[in-house]
Homo-oligomer: A and B are copies of this chain.
Amino acid sequence: MISSARAEIITIGDEILFGQIIDTNTQWIGTQLTDIGIRPVRKTSVGDNKQDILDAFAQASKRVDIVIVTGGLGPTRDDITKHTFCEYFGTELEINQEALALITEFFAKRGRAMTELNIQQAALPKNCTYIPNLWGTAPGMWFEKYNVIYVSMPGVPYEMKSLMEFEILPRLKSRFSTQIIQHKSIRTIGIGESFLAETISAWEDALPAHIKLAYLPHFGQVRLRLTGTGTDQALLEKQLNEQVGLVLPLIEEHVFGYDSDELETVIGELLVAQNATLGTAESCTGGYVANQITGIPGSSRYFQGSVVSYSNEVKMNVLGVSRDTLEAYGAVSEQTAREMAEGARKALNTTFAISTTGIAGPDGGTAEKPVGTVWIACATPDETFTQLLTLRNNRKINIELTSSYALNLLRKTILKTSMAVKG
């Protein structure tokens, strides 16, 4: 196989090793590198420790062409990382005037006073290429040693992302005329990984050698990811689309989208196409469904709002669920879910409304309704659909799964409704 450029991503910081923060930077960097045909082959995290950083650099230099480093910078921790760079690259620190001017401007613009620690952020290893950071105070740095490129950026996510997008990725792209890695994902919901695998095994076995398949399960969904490698982007795209066309008839009922499609973006498009509006009534999901929907820019075109009815009083007073229903069937029941969805349609004046009510856990379960018992409903102008979920013993997972299934019930309901109208 012709090798494309290979990259290693190194993060520096005890807080990552000790688990005190979740590292989302390297995930994002991974997507950006693969998008321009650079293959991430390893990720390494080391602590704020000189020898560990030196070892990680030396080992990375033997396996990759590009080393992307984040973290270990910032006003209060610069010292160890920058001095370690100086040792590895055989140089020393000096104040970079361009960097100092930018940091001074950064504080002046915000009307904030500058401290000695901030001035020291402009001290950079002499032999690095200075990469201006317009979004924060820790500059980016670019080194080259024995044909390996090292890029260092602060670990603050939006600073790192801005530096990558505007400075680093364009430079890497122009430097490496790389082999192309192309992904195509099929997003499914409501079918287990092993059943999916059995259903499509003949197709999978017949895939050509340059196209690989991966199953990525996540909260009731499975993403089928095809990865093709080649040199002709148009041809590769065509081949991936052909494979999708072959497998689709086998699994169509479970497919809700492709690639970066999410249930909430797919639903947004369906609602806009129908000029329809949406509201939600949430009990056990506590605002999570609304938060998923409003995470999409432009969702205000169709999303009117939500009533998070955590207490029975709010279910009755704002959504109009009847006291009789709550007393006869309980808050976690098909009847309550139905009245919540229908009440939300009226209170929020929308075309569709979805509701959730259940026992998220860890407490609150009974023999009859154990933790994980959830009812969801979707109200339309004509009728209301309900569904019982039997989930797990974990609050966070139950909230996420309930949200996924409620959005999927809505998706299927919209499709059914629009077919009925067309039909």
Q: Tell me whether chain A's interface is mostly helix, strand or loop, or mixed.
A: mixed
Is B19's CB under 8 angstroms from A29's CB? yes
Is A297's CB under 8 angstroms from B395's CB? yes
Is B298's CB under 8 angstroms from A305's CB? no
Chain B residues lying within 8 Å of A146, measured Cβ to Cβ, are none
Tell me the complex Cα distance, A59–B297, Å: 45
Q: Is A160 an interface residue (CB 8 A)?
A: no
Residue of B42, B280, B348, B392 near A52 (CB, 8 A) is B42
Residue of B115, B361, B396 near A194 (CB, 8 A) is B115
Interface hits, A40-57 → B, CB 8 Å: 40-49, 52, 56
Q: Mark A118-160, 1 if CB is under 8 A from B, else 0.
A: 1000000000000000000100000000000000000010100
Residue of B75, B156, B294 near A286 (CB, 8 A) is B294
Chain B minimum-CB-distance residue to A361: B297
Tell me the complex Cα distance, A300–B396, Å: 15
A346 to chain B, nearest CB (A): 10
Is B17's CB under 8 angstroms from A28's CB? no
Q: How large is the interface on A (under 10, 10 to 19, 20 to 34, 35 or more residues)?
A: 35 or more
Residue of B112, B297, B349 near A363 (CB, 8 A) is B297
Q: Is A304 an interface residue (CB 8 A)?
A: yes
Tell me the complex Cα distance, A225–B77, Å: 13
Chain B residues lying within 8 Å of A40, measured Cβ to Cβ, are 17-19
Is A197's CB under 8 angstroms from B117's CB? yes
With contact pairs A15-B225, A289-B287, A294-B286 given, residues A198 and B115 touching in the complex (Cβ less than 8 Å): yes
Chain B residues lying within 8 Å of A41, measured Cβ to Cβ, are 17, 46-47, 49, 52
Tell me the complex Cα distance, A20–B30, Å: 8
Is A217's CB under 8 angstroms from B286's CB? no
Q: Is A14 an interface residue (CB 8 A)?
A: yes
Q: Is A210 an interface residue (CB 8 A)?
A: no
Interface hits, A48-92 → B, CB 8 Å: 48-49, 52, 56, 59, 74-77
Is A305's CB under 8 angstroms from B303's CB? no
Chain B minimum-CB-distance residue to A19: B30
Q: Mark A15-38, 1 if CB is under 8 A from B, else 0.
A: 111111111101111111010000
A10 to chain B, nearest CB (A): 10
Chain B residues lying within 8 Å of A314, measured Cβ to Cβ, are 304-305, 348
Interface hits, A300-320 → B, CB 8 Å: 300, 303-311, 313-314, 317-318
Tell me the complex Cα distance, A137–B137, Å: 48
Residue of B42, B193, B280 near A76 (CB, 8 A) is B193
Tell me the complex Cα distance, A347–B318, Å: 7
Is A215's CB under 8 angstroms from B318's CB? no
Q: Mark A172-199, 1 if CB is under 8 A from B, else 0.
A: 0000000000010100000011110110
Chain B minimum-CB-distance residue to A318: B347
Is A22's CB under 8 angstroms from B20's CB? no
A78 to chain B, nearest CB (A): 11
Chain B residues lying within 8 Å of A97, measured Cβ to Cβ, are none
Q: Is A216 an interface residue (CB 8 A)?
A: yes
Q: Is A374 an interface residue (CB 8 A)?
A: no
Tell me the complex Cα distance, A30–B317, Å: 46
Q: Is A163 an interface residue (CB 8 A)?
A: no
Ranked 6 nearest A-B pairs via Cβ: A286-B294, A19-B30, A287-B290, A287-B287, A19-B31, A306-B308
